[in-house]
Structure 1
Amino acid sequence: MALLHFPLSCSNRLLHPKLELLLYNQNHGFRVSCLSQSQTTIKSKPVERLSTEYKPNVLDNLFLNSFRNKMVQEAGWDSGKPGYDGLIEVANRLMIGRSNSETTEAAVRILRSLFPPLLLELYKLLIAPIAGGKVAAVMVARVTALSCQWLMGPCTVNSVDLPDGSSLMSGVFVERCKYLEESKCVGICINTCKLPTQTFMKAGMGVPLLMEPNFSDYSCQFKFGVLPPLPEDDITLKEPCLEICPNSIRRKQVTDNMEASKCPKA
Protein backbone atom coordinates (compact mmCIF):
# COMPACT_ATOMS: atom_id res chain seq x y z
CA MET A 1 0.00 0.00 0.00
CA ALA A 2 1.30 3.41 -0.91
CA LEU A 3 1.81 5.84 1.97
CA LEU A 4 0.37 9.34 1.82
CA HIS A 5 2.65 12.08 3.12
CA PHE A 6 1.20 15.51 3.98
CA PRO A 7 4.04 17.67 5.28
CA LEU A 8 2.43 21.08 5.82
CA SER A 9 4.59 24.20 5.95
CA CYS A 10 3.26 27.73 6.59
CA SER A 11 5.74 30.54 6.48
CA ASN A 12 3.59 33.13 8.29
CA ARG A 13 0.46 33.30 10.39
CA LEU A 14 -1.50 36.13 8.80
CA LEU A 15 -4.92 37.63 9.25
CA HIS A 16 -5.79 37.37 5.57
CA PRO A 17 -3.16 35.26 3.74
CA LYS A 18 -3.29 34.59 0.04
CA LEU A 19 -2.84 30.89 -0.31
CA GLU A 20 -1.50 28.90 -3.19
CA LEU A 21 -2.02 25.18 -3.03
CA LEU A 22 0.49 23.02 -4.80
CA LEU A 23 -0.58 19.50 -5.26
CA TYR A 24 1.38 17.00 -7.15
CA ASN A 25 1.95 13.26 -7.30
CA GLN A 26 5.40 11.82 -7.10
CA ASN A 27 5.96 8.13 -6.41
CA HIS A 28 2.51 7.83 -4.89
CA GLY A 29 3.29 10.60 -2.44
CA PHE A 30 1.37 13.79 -2.03
CA ARG A 31 2.59 17.08 -0.61
CA VAL A 32 0.49 20.09 0.23
CA SER A 33 2.26 23.42 0.70
CA CYS A 34 0.69 26.51 2.19
CA LEU A 35 2.53 29.53 0.81
CA SER A 36 1.98 33.23 1.26
CA GLN A 37 2.32 35.53 -1.73
CA SER A 38 2.47 38.62 0.46
CA GLN A 39 3.79 39.27 3.92
CA THR A 40 2.02 41.57 6.39
CA THR A 41 3.55 43.13 9.51
CA ILE A 42 1.26 44.31 12.30
CA LYS A 43 2.78 47.08 14.36
CA SER A 44 1.22 48.06 17.66
CA LYS A 45 1.14 51.71 18.53
CA PRO A 46 2.62 52.62 21.90
CA VAL A 47 0.02 53.33 24.54
CA GLU A 48 -0.01 56.97 25.48
CA ARG A 49 0.17 57.55 29.21
CA LEU A 50 -1.86 60.43 30.46
CA SER A 51 0.29 62.65 32.64
CA THR A 52 -1.28 63.92 35.85
CA GLU A 53 1.44 66.50 36.35
CA TYR A 54 -0.05 69.92 36.90
CA LYS A 55 0.97 72.51 34.33
CA PRO A 56 1.08 75.98 35.90
CA ASN A 57 -0.53 78.94 34.16
CA VAL A 58 0.24 82.65 34.30
CA LEU A 59 -1.69 83.13 37.54
CA ASP A 60 0.15 80.21 39.13
CA ASN A 61 3.47 81.83 38.27
CA LEU A 62 2.32 84.99 40.04
CA PHE A 63 1.46 82.93 43.13
CA LEU A 64 4.86 81.23 43.00
CA ASN A 65 6.77 84.49 42.70
CA SER A 66 4.76 86.15 45.47
CA PHE A 67 5.21 83.21 47.84
CA ARG A 68 8.91 82.99 47.09
CA ASN A 69 9.43 86.73 47.64
CA LYS A 70 7.78 86.51 51.07
CA MET A 71 9.91 83.50 51.96
CA VAL A 72 13.07 85.30 50.81
CA GLN A 73 12.23 88.26 53.04
CA GLU A 74 11.84 85.96 56.04
CA ALA A 75 14.95 83.89 55.29
CA GLY A 76 17.11 86.89 54.41
CA TRP A 77 18.55 85.00 51.46
CA ASP A 78 17.61 84.07 47.90
CA SER A 79 18.66 81.26 45.61
CA GLY A 80 20.24 81.83 42.25
CA LYS A 81 17.98 79.18 40.75
CA PRO A 82 14.77 80.29 39.04
CA GLY A 83 11.25 79.05 39.67
CA TYR A 84 10.32 76.10 41.85
CA ASP A 85 13.88 74.83 42.27
CA GLY A 86 14.87 78.14 43.80
CA LEU A 87 11.83 78.07 46.09
CA ILE A 88 12.92 74.71 47.52
CA GLU A 89 16.42 76.03 48.21
CA VAL A 90 14.98 79.03 50.05
CA ALA A 91 12.79 76.67 52.11
CA ASN A 92 15.93 74.77 53.09
CA ARG A 93 17.66 78.01 54.04
CA LEU A 94 14.68 79.04 56.17
CA MET A 95 15.46 76.15 58.54
CA ILE A 96 19.16 76.91 58.96
CA GLY A 97 20.01 78.45 62.33
CA ARG A 98 16.45 78.09 63.61
CA SER A 99 14.84 75.62 65.96
CA ASN A 100 11.80 73.69 64.77
CA SER A 101 9.42 76.04 66.58
CA GLU A 102 11.21 79.11 65.21
CA THR A 103 10.94 77.73 61.68
CA THR A 104 7.23 77.08 62.15
CA GLU A 105 6.67 80.61 63.48
CA ALA A 106 8.54 82.07 60.50
CA ALA A 107 6.38 80.06 58.08
CA VAL A 108 3.21 81.27 59.83
CA ARG A 109 4.35 84.87 59.32
CA ILE A 110 4.91 84.12 55.63
CA LEU A 111 1.37 82.76 55.26
CA ARG A 112 -0.13 85.76 57.06
CA SER A 113 1.76 88.18 54.83
CA LEU A 114 0.08 86.70 51.74
CA PHE A 115 -3.38 87.95 52.82
CA PRO A 116 -4.76 91.41 53.61
CA PRO A 117 -5.12 91.51 57.42
CA LEU A 118 -8.69 92.82 57.23
CA LEU A 119 -9.74 89.90 55.00
CA LEU A 120 -8.54 87.36 57.54
CA GLU A 121 -10.27 89.11 60.43
CA LEU A 122 -13.57 89.40 58.54
CA TYR A 123 -13.48 85.75 57.51
CA LYS A 124 -12.81 84.65 61.06
CA LEU A 125 -15.51 86.94 62.45
CA LEU A 126 -18.28 86.56 59.87
CA ILE A 127 -17.82 83.28 57.99
CA ALA A 128 -16.15 80.89 60.43
CA PRO A 129 -19.06 80.77 62.94
CA ILE A 130 -21.73 79.88 60.33
CA ALA A 131 -23.21 76.37 60.76
CA GLY A 132 -20.66 75.45 63.36
CA GLY A 133 -17.76 76.22 61.04
CA LYS A 134 -18.85 73.85 58.27
CA VAL A 135 -19.46 76.57 55.68
CA ALA A 136 -16.02 78.06 56.24
CA ALA A 137 -14.37 74.62 56.05
CA VAL A 138 -16.05 73.80 52.73
CA MET A 139 -15.15 77.20 51.26
CA VAL A 140 -11.49 76.95 52.26
CA ALA A 141 -11.23 73.42 50.87
CA ARG A 142 -12.45 74.55 47.46
CA VAL A 143 -10.19 77.58 47.36
CA THR A 144 -7.21 75.43 48.36
CA ALA A 145 -7.86 72.89 45.61
CA LEU A 146 -8.22 75.63 43.01
CA SER A 147 -5.36 77.92 43.99
CA CYS A 148 -2.59 75.73 45.44
CA GLN A 149 -1.90 73.15 42.75
CA TRP A 150 1.12 75.15 41.60
CA LEU A 151 2.68 74.32 44.98
CA MET A 152 1.40 70.81 45.68
CA GLY A 153 0.43 69.32 42.33
CA PRO A 154 -2.92 67.81 41.29
CA CYS A 155 -5.49 67.65 44.08
CA THR A 156 -9.22 67.14 44.50
CA VAL A 157 -11.90 68.00 47.05
CA ASN A 158 -13.15 64.94 48.94
CA SER A 159 -15.32 64.00 51.89
CA VAL A 160 -13.91 63.73 55.41
CA ASP A 161 -15.35 62.54 58.71
CA LEU A 162 -15.93 65.23 61.30
CA PRO A 163 -15.67 64.83 65.09
CA ASP A 164 -19.47 65.01 65.44
CA GLY A 165 -19.86 61.85 63.35
CA SER A 166 -21.03 63.59 60.18
CA SER A 167 -19.16 63.81 56.90
CA LEU A 168 -18.43 66.93 54.90
CA MET A 169 -16.88 67.81 51.55
CA SER A 170 -14.19 69.78 53.33
CA GLY A 171 -11.19 67.64 52.49
CA VAL A 172 -8.49 68.10 49.88
CA PHE A 173 -6.53 65.09 48.69
CA VAL A 174 -3.13 65.80 47.14
CA GLU A 175 -2.20 62.93 44.85
CA ARG A 176 1.57 63.40 45.10
CA CYS A 177 2.80 66.50 46.87
CA LYS A 178 5.34 68.29 44.73
CA TYR A 179 6.66 70.28 47.69
CA LEU A 180 7.53 67.10 49.62
CA GLU A 181 8.82 65.26 46.57
CA GLU A 182 11.13 68.09 45.52
CA SER A 183 12.39 68.94 49.02
CA LYS A 184 12.92 65.25 49.90
CA CYS A 185 12.76 66.25 53.56
CA VAL A 186 10.38 65.31 56.36
CA GLY A 187 11.53 68.33 58.37
CA ILE A 188 10.71 70.81 55.60
CA CYS A 189 7.29 69.22 55.15
CA ILE A 190 6.46 69.37 58.86
CA ASN A 191 8.00 72.69 59.88
CA THR A 192 7.42 74.84 56.78
CA CYS A 193 4.11 73.36 55.63
CA LYS A 194 2.08 71.05 57.91
CA LEU A 195 2.45 72.71 61.33
CA PRO A 196 2.42 76.36 60.17
CA THR A 197 -0.56 75.79 57.85
CA GLN A 198 -2.54 74.12 60.64
CA THR A 199 -1.67 76.99 62.99
CA PHE A 200 -2.44 79.69 60.44
CA MET A 201 -5.82 78.25 59.46
CA LYS A 202 -7.03 78.01 63.06
CA ALA A 203 -5.56 81.23 64.45
CA GLY A 204 -5.84 83.36 61.32
CA MET A 205 -9.12 82.20 59.78
CA GLY A 206 -10.88 80.31 62.56
CA VAL A 207 -10.91 77.01 60.64
CA PRO A 208 -9.45 73.88 62.28
CA LEU A 209 -7.22 71.85 59.98
CA LEU A 210 -5.53 68.47 60.18
CA MET A 211 -2.94 67.63 57.54
CA GLU A 212 -1.89 64.00 57.09
CA PRO A 213 1.15 63.65 54.81
CA ASN A 214 2.04 60.16 53.64
CA PHE A 215 5.81 59.84 53.42
CA SER A 216 5.61 56.57 51.50
CA ASP A 217 3.73 57.75 48.41
CA TYR A 218 4.01 61.55 48.95
CA SER A 219 0.24 62.02 49.05
CA CYS A 220 -1.38 64.29 51.60
CA GLN A 221 -4.88 64.56 53.06
CA PHE A 222 -6.19 67.94 54.22
CA LYS A 223 -9.10 67.76 56.66
CA PHE A 224 -10.64 71.20 57.17
CA GLY A 225 -12.95 71.29 60.17
CA VAL A 226 -10.90 68.70 62.09
CA LEU A 227 -8.59 69.69 64.94
CA PRO A 228 -5.06 68.24 64.81
CA PRO A 229 -3.92 65.95 67.65
CA LEU A 230 -1.55 67.07 70.37
CA PRO A 231 2.11 67.03 69.24
CA GLU A 232 2.88 64.00 71.41
CA ASP A 233 0.05 62.09 69.71
CA ASP A 234 0.83 63.14 66.12
CA ILE A 235 2.55 60.20 64.43
CA THR A 236 3.83 62.35 61.56
CA LEU A 237 6.11 64.17 63.99
CA LYS A 238 7.87 60.88 64.73
CA GLU A 239 8.71 60.00 61.15
CA PRO A 240 12.34 59.14 60.29
CA CYS A 241 14.22 60.83 57.48
CA LEU A 242 13.42 59.85 53.93
CA GLU A 243 16.10 57.65 52.40
CA ILE A 244 16.50 60.16 49.57
CA CYS A 245 16.92 63.13 51.92
CA PRO A 246 20.25 64.83 51.06
CA ASN A 247 20.88 65.73 54.72
CA SER A 248 20.22 62.16 55.82
CA ILE A 249 22.62 60.80 53.21
CA ARG A 250 25.38 63.15 54.38
CA ARG A 251 24.86 62.17 58.02
CA LYS A 252 25.04 58.48 57.19
CA GLN A 253 28.32 59.06 55.39
CA VAL A 254 29.98 60.52 58.49
CA THR A 255 28.45 58.38 61.25
CA ASP A 256 27.44 54.80 61.86
CA ASN A 257 25.02 55.80 64.60
CA MET A 258 21.59 54.23 64.06
CA GLU A 259 19.97 57.41 65.37
CA ALA A 260 21.23 59.19 62.25
CA SER A 261 18.19 57.85 60.41
CA LYS A 262 15.86 59.99 62.52
CA CYS A 263 15.04 63.40 61.10
CA PRO A 264 16.53 66.01 63.45
CA LYS A 265 14.22 68.68 62.07
CA ALA A 266 10.94 66.76 62.46
Structure 2
Amino acid sequence: MDLRVIQDTRVILPTMMNNNKMKLRRKSILCFGVLTRPAEGELIEETRKTNTVYTDNWFDKIAIDHLSQAVQATSGWRSKKSGYESLVEVTTMASRNFNHIKQKEVVIQALGMAFPKPILSLIKALLPQSKLAREYFAAFTTVFFAWLVGPCEVKESEFKGKREKNVVQIHKCRFLEQTNCAGMCINLCKFPCQDFIKDSLGMPVTMVPNFDDMSCEMIFGKEPPASIDDPALKQPCYKLCKTKEKHTTNCFI
Protein backbone atom coordinates (compact mmCIF):
# COMPACT_ATOMS: atom_id res chain seq x y z
CA MET A 1 0.00 0.00 0.00
CA ASP A 2 1.14 3.60 -0.69
CA LEU A 3 1.37 6.32 1.95
CA ARG A 4 0.59 9.69 0.40
CA VAL A 5 0.94 13.00 2.34
CA ILE A 6 -1.99 15.42 2.02
CA GLN A 7 -2.40 19.04 3.13
CA ASP A 8 -3.25 19.67 6.77
CA THR A 9 -6.63 21.19 7.72
CA ARG A 10 -7.07 23.99 10.27
CA VAL A 11 -10.40 24.71 11.97
CA ILE A 12 -11.25 27.94 13.82
CA LEU A 13 -13.23 27.28 17.02
CA PRO A 14 -14.82 29.85 19.37
CA THR A 15 -13.87 29.80 23.11
CA MET A 16 -15.40 31.59 26.10
CA MET A 17 -13.49 34.34 28.00
CA ASN A 18 -14.27 36.53 31.03
CA ASN A 19 -17.18 39.01 30.76
CA ASN A 20 -18.91 36.70 28.37
CA LYS A 21 -16.63 37.73 25.53
CA MET A 22 -15.76 35.34 22.74
CA LYS A 23 -12.30 34.66 21.38
CA LEU A 24 -11.47 32.72 18.23
CA ARG A 25 -8.95 29.97 18.72
CA ARG A 26 -7.35 27.93 15.97
CA LYS A 27 -7.36 24.17 16.32
CA SER A 28 -5.18 22.24 13.91
CA ILE A 29 -6.13 18.80 12.64
CA LEU A 30 -3.26 17.22 10.77
CA CYS A 31 -3.67 14.31 8.40
CA PHE A 32 -0.30 12.80 7.72
CA GLY A 33 -1.33 10.45 4.96
CA VAL A 34 -3.79 7.98 3.54
CA LEU A 35 -3.45 4.42 2.33
CA THR A 36 -4.14 4.01 -1.37
CA ARG A 37 -4.37 0.95 -3.61
CA PRO A 38 -1.03 0.26 -5.34
CA ALA A 39 -0.79 0.43 -9.10
CA GLU A 40 -0.98 -2.79 -11.10
CA GLY A 41 2.75 -2.80 -11.78
CA GLU A 42 3.47 -2.50 -8.05
CA LEU A 43 1.19 -5.46 -7.34
CA ILE A 44 3.10 -7.52 -9.87
CA GLU A 45 6.43 -6.64 -8.24
CA GLU A 46 5.05 -7.58 -4.81
CA THR A 47 3.90 -10.93 -6.24
CA ARG A 48 7.41 -11.58 -7.54
CA LYS A 49 9.09 -10.71 -4.25
CA THR A 50 6.77 -12.81 -2.08
CA ASN A 51 7.98 -16.41 -2.18
CA THR A 52 5.58 -19.28 -1.68
CA VAL A 53 6.38 -21.52 1.27
CA TYR A 54 6.41 -25.21 0.31
CA THR A 55 6.11 -28.19 2.62
CA ASP A 56 7.46 -31.09 0.59
CA ASN A 57 6.33 -34.60 1.51
CA TRP A 58 8.49 -37.70 1.25
CA PHE A 59 7.60 -38.26 -2.42
CA ASP A 60 8.39 -34.64 -3.30
CA LYS A 61 11.76 -34.81 -1.57
CA ILE A 62 12.74 -38.02 -3.36
CA ALA A 63 11.70 -36.62 -6.75
CA ILE A 64 13.50 -33.31 -6.20
CA ASP A 65 16.70 -35.04 -5.07
CA HIS A 66 16.52 -37.47 -8.01
CA LEU A 67 16.23 -34.69 -10.59
CA SER A 68 18.86 -32.55 -8.86
CA GLN A 69 21.34 -35.43 -8.90
CA ALA A 70 20.64 -36.01 -12.59
CA VAL A 71 21.29 -32.34 -13.44
CA GLN A 72 24.48 -32.38 -11.35
CA ALA A 73 25.69 -35.47 -13.21
CA THR A 74 25.07 -34.01 -16.68
CA SER A 75 26.29 -30.50 -15.89
CA GLY A 76 29.39 -31.44 -13.92
CA TRP A 77 28.47 -29.01 -11.13
CA ARG A 78 27.89 -30.16 -7.57
CA SER A 79 25.68 -28.66 -4.90
CA LYS A 80 26.15 -29.04 -1.16
CA LYS A 81 22.61 -27.84 -0.53
CA SER A 82 19.61 -30.10 -0.17
CA GLY A 83 16.05 -30.14 -1.44
CA TYR A 84 14.83 -27.68 -4.02
CA GLU A 85 17.70 -25.32 -3.18
CA SER A 86 20.16 -27.81 -4.63
CA LEU A 87 18.22 -27.93 -7.91
CA VAL A 88 18.13 -24.14 -8.08
CA GLU A 89 21.85 -23.85 -7.29
CA VAL A 90 23.02 -26.33 -9.91
CA THR A 91 20.76 -24.91 -12.65
CA THR A 92 21.96 -21.41 -11.76
CA MET A 93 25.57 -22.53 -12.20
CA ALA A 94 24.67 -24.06 -15.56
CA SER A 95 23.02 -20.84 -16.69
CA ARG A 96 26.07 -18.79 -15.75
CA ASN A 97 28.67 -21.05 -17.33
CA PHE A 98 26.99 -22.54 -20.42
CA ASN A 99 25.45 -20.94 -23.49
CA HIS A 100 21.77 -21.47 -24.28
CA ILE A 101 22.44 -24.52 -26.47
CA LYS A 102 24.49 -26.30 -23.80
CA GLN A 103 21.95 -25.42 -21.09
CA LYS A 104 19.19 -27.11 -23.08
CA GLU A 105 21.35 -30.17 -23.73
CA VAL A 106 22.17 -30.53 -20.02
CA VAL A 107 18.51 -30.56 -19.02
CA ILE A 108 17.44 -32.95 -21.81
CA GLN A 109 20.22 -35.38 -20.79
CA ALA A 110 19.22 -35.04 -17.13
CA LEU A 111 15.58 -35.79 -17.92
CA GLY A 112 16.72 -38.81 -19.90
CA MET A 113 18.61 -40.05 -16.84
CA ALA A 114 15.74 -39.31 -14.47
CA PHE A 115 13.07 -41.17 -16.46
CA PRO A 116 13.87 -44.72 -17.68
CA LYS A 117 13.70 -45.07 -21.46
CA PRO A 118 11.75 -48.38 -21.43
CA ILE A 119 8.91 -46.74 -19.49
CA LEU A 120 8.87 -43.71 -21.77
CA SER A 121 8.84 -45.92 -24.87
CA LEU A 122 5.96 -47.95 -23.43
CA ILE A 123 3.92 -44.82 -22.71
CA LYS A 124 4.64 -43.55 -26.21
CA ALA A 125 3.40 -46.81 -27.74
CA LEU A 126 0.28 -47.07 -25.57
CA LEU A 127 -0.75 -43.43 -25.84
CA PRO A 128 -0.47 -42.15 -29.41
CA GLN A 129 -1.80 -38.69 -30.26
CA SER A 130 -5.48 -38.58 -29.23
CA LYS A 131 -7.88 -36.72 -26.97
CA LEU A 132 -7.40 -39.40 -24.32
CA ALA A 133 -3.61 -39.03 -24.45
CA ARG A 134 -3.68 -35.23 -24.27
CA GLU A 135 -6.05 -35.24 -21.32
CA TYR A 136 -4.08 -38.03 -19.63
CA PHE A 137 -0.80 -36.09 -19.86
CA ALA A 138 -2.46 -32.96 -18.47
CA ALA A 139 -3.97 -34.82 -15.51
CA PHE A 140 -0.73 -36.77 -14.87
CA THR A 141 1.28 -33.53 -14.75
CA THR A 142 -0.93 -31.92 -12.10
CA VAL A 143 -0.76 -35.00 -9.87
CA PHE A 144 2.90 -36.02 -10.13
CA PHE A 145 4.83 -32.83 -10.96
CA ALA A 146 3.46 -30.24 -8.56
CA TRP A 147 6.73 -30.64 -6.59
CA LEU A 148 8.59 -29.18 -9.58
CA VAL A 149 6.29 -26.43 -10.84
CA GLY A 150 4.01 -25.72 -7.89
CA PRO A 151 0.21 -26.02 -7.54
CA CYS A 152 -1.56 -26.48 -10.87
CA GLU A 153 -4.87 -27.59 -12.32
CA VAL A 154 -6.34 -28.91 -15.56
CA LYS A 155 -8.18 -26.46 -17.79
CA GLU A 156 -10.25 -26.81 -20.94
CA SER A 157 -9.27 -25.40 -24.31
CA GLU A 158 -10.46 -25.67 -27.87
CA PHE A 159 -8.55 -28.25 -29.90
CA LYS A 160 -9.48 -28.59 -33.56
CA GLY A 161 -12.96 -27.26 -32.96
CA LYS A 162 -13.70 -29.37 -29.86
CA ARG A 163 -13.33 -28.80 -26.13
CA GLU A 164 -10.68 -30.82 -24.33
CA LYS A 165 -9.09 -30.80 -20.89
CA ASN A 166 -5.59 -30.67 -22.31
CA VAL A 167 -4.14 -27.60 -20.59
CA VAL A 168 -2.23 -27.45 -17.32
CA GLN A 169 -2.54 -24.09 -15.59
CA ILE A 170 0.42 -23.51 -13.27
CA HIS A 171 -0.64 -20.81 -10.83
CA LYS A 172 2.85 -19.63 -9.85
CA CYS A 173 5.77 -21.61 -11.17
CA ARG A 174 8.05 -22.78 -8.38
CA PHE A 175 11.14 -22.89 -10.57
CA LEU A 176 10.60 -19.39 -11.97
CA GLU A 177 9.81 -18.04 -8.52
CA GLN A 178 12.95 -19.56 -6.97
CA THR A 179 15.33 -18.60 -9.77
CA ASN A 180 13.68 -15.23 -10.49
CA CYS A 181 15.13 -15.31 -14.00
CA ALA A 182 13.23 -15.30 -17.28
CA GLY A 183 16.30 -16.62 -19.13
CA MET A 184 16.57 -19.69 -16.89
CA CYS A 185 12.86 -20.35 -17.33
CA ILE A 186 13.28 -20.36 -21.11
CA ASN A 187 16.62 -22.19 -21.45
CA LEU A 188 16.43 -24.64 -18.55
CA CYS A 189 12.72 -25.42 -18.47
CA LYS A 190 10.55 -24.33 -21.40
CA PHE A 191 12.69 -25.28 -24.42
CA PRO A 192 14.22 -28.52 -23.10
CA CYS A 193 10.91 -29.79 -21.65
CA GLN A 194 9.06 -29.10 -24.89
CA ASP A 195 11.66 -31.05 -26.87
CA PHE A 196 11.99 -33.89 -24.35
CA ILE A 197 8.24 -34.52 -24.03
CA LYS A 198 7.75 -34.57 -27.80
CA ASP A 199 10.79 -36.74 -28.58
CA SER A 200 10.36 -39.19 -25.69
CA LEU A 201 6.58 -39.42 -25.47
CA GLY A 202 5.49 -38.37 -28.94
CA MET A 203 3.35 -35.59 -27.49
CA PRO A 204 3.87 -32.02 -28.69
CA VAL A 205 3.44 -29.45 -25.96
CA THR A 206 3.67 -25.68 -25.84
CA MET A 207 4.65 -23.95 -22.61
CA VAL A 208 3.46 -20.36 -22.31
CA PRO A 209 5.05 -18.61 -19.30
CA ASN A 210 3.62 -15.36 -18.00
CA PHE A 211 6.52 -13.38 -16.59
CA ASP A 212 4.22 -10.82 -14.96
CA ASP A 213 2.55 -13.11 -12.44
CA MET A 214 4.88 -16.15 -12.80
CA SER A 215 2.08 -18.40 -14.02
CA CYS A 216 2.43 -20.77 -16.97
CA GLU A 217 0.27 -22.84 -19.30
CA MET A 218 1.25 -26.23 -20.70
CA ILE A 219 -0.87 -26.94 -23.77
CA PHE A 220 -0.64 -30.61 -24.73
CA GLY A 221 -1.12 -31.38 -28.41
CA LYS A 222 -0.06 -27.93 -29.59
CA GLU A 223 3.17 -27.61 -31.56
CA PRO A 224 5.42 -24.90 -30.10
CA PRO A 225 6.58 -22.04 -32.34
CA ALA A 226 10.10 -22.07 -33.73
CA SER A 227 12.58 -20.99 -31.08
CA ILE A 228 13.53 -17.80 -32.90
CA ASP A 229 9.87 -16.78 -33.20
CA ASP A 230 8.78 -17.68 -29.67
CA PRO A 231 7.16 -14.68 -27.93
CA ALA A 232 8.85 -15.69 -24.66
CA LEU A 233 12.21 -14.53 -26.06
CA LYS A 234 10.89 -10.99 -26.39
CA GLN A 235 9.96 -10.68 -22.73
CA PRO A 236 12.01 -8.25 -20.61
CA CYS A 237 14.05 -9.27 -17.60
CA TYR A 238 12.65 -8.64 -14.17
CA LYS A 239 13.42 -5.34 -12.48
CA LEU A 240 15.51 -7.27 -9.96
CA CYS A 241 17.72 -8.61 -12.76
CA LYS A 242 21.14 -6.95 -12.75
CA THR A 243 21.44 -6.73 -16.54
CA LYS A 244 17.89 -5.48 -17.19
CA GLU A 245 18.21 -6.43 -20.84
CA LYS A 246 15.67 -7.89 -23.28
CA HIS A 247 15.80 -11.68 -23.67
CA THR A 248 16.56 -11.70 -27.36
CA THR A 249 18.59 -14.37 -29.18
CA ASN A 250 21.78 -12.40 -28.43
CA CYS A 251 21.11 -12.72 -24.71
CA PHE A 252 21.67 -16.47 -24.81
CA ILE A 253 25.02 -16.61 -26.59
1:101 maps to 101
> What corresponds to 1:19 in structure 2?
none
Q: Please state if 1:265 is matched with 2:249.
A: no
Separation in structure 2 between the aligned mates of residue 170 and residue 219 of structure 1, nearest angstrom: 17
Amino acid at match of 1:261: E
Q: TM-score, normalised to structure 2's length?
A: 0.74
CA distance in structure 2 between the aligned counterparts of 1:55 and 1:90, rounded to whole angstroms: 21
* CA deviation string 1:11-38 (max 9, x = no partner): xxxxxxxxxxxxxxxxxxxxxxxxxxxx
Query: SS at 2:239's partner residue?
Result: coil
Change (3 A) 1:112 1:160: farther
Structure 1 counterpart of 2:150: 153
* Alignment of structure 1 residues 63-74 onto 2, 5 Å: 63-74=63-74
CA distance in 2 between counterparts of 1:197 and 1:117 reads: 16
Residue identity opposite 2:136 in structure 1: M
- State how 1:49-128 maps to structure 2 within 5 Å: 54-128=54-128
3-state SS of the aligned residue for 2:62? Answer: helix
Q: Equivalents in 2 of 1:201, 1:173: separation in Å?
A: 17
**Aligned partner of 1:227 among 219, 223, 227:** 223
Post-superposition Cα deviations, 1:174-205, rounded to whole Å, max 9, x if no partner, equal 11111101101111100110011110111110
Matched, 1:134 2:131: yes
- Within the candidate set 190, 194, 197, 2:193 is matched to 197
Secondary structure of 1:96's aligned partner: helix
Residue-pair matches, total = 200
Point out where structure 2 has 5 or more consecutive residues left out of the alignment: 1-51
Larger radius of gyration between Structure 1 and Structure 2: 1
Shift of 1:233: 2.6
Q: Which residue of 2 aligns with 1:172?
A: 168
Amino acid at match of 1:195: F
Partner deviation per Cα, 1:154-190 (whole Å, 9 max, x = no partner):
111111222x122211111111111101101111100
Q: Percent sequence identity over matched residues?
A: 34
Residue 57 of structure 1, CA deviation? 0.9
Contact 2:65/2:82 (<8 A) preserved:
no
State whether residues 124 and 204 of structure 1, in contact with CA within 8 Å, keep that contact through their aligned partners in structure 2: yes
Q: For residues 157 and 115 of structure 2, what CA distance do their matches in structure 1 show?
A: 27
Please report how far the alpha carbon of residue 59 of structure 1 lies from its aligned counterpart in structure 2 after TM superposition.
0.5
The answer as to whether partners of 1:54 and 1:149 remain within 8 angstroms in 2 is no
Match of 2:31 in 1: none
Residue aligned with 1:71, SS: helix
User: Would you say 1:184 and 2:171 are equivalent positions?
Assistant: no
- The residue matched to 2:252 in structure 1 has which SS? coil
The Cα RMSD (Å) is 1.9
Is the contact made by 2:198 and 2:205 (CA closer than 8 Å) also made in structure 1? yes
* Structure with higher strand content: 2
1:53 deviates by 5.3
- Structure 1 residue 90, shift from structure 2 partner: 0.5
Contact 1:161 1:168 in 2 (8 A): yes
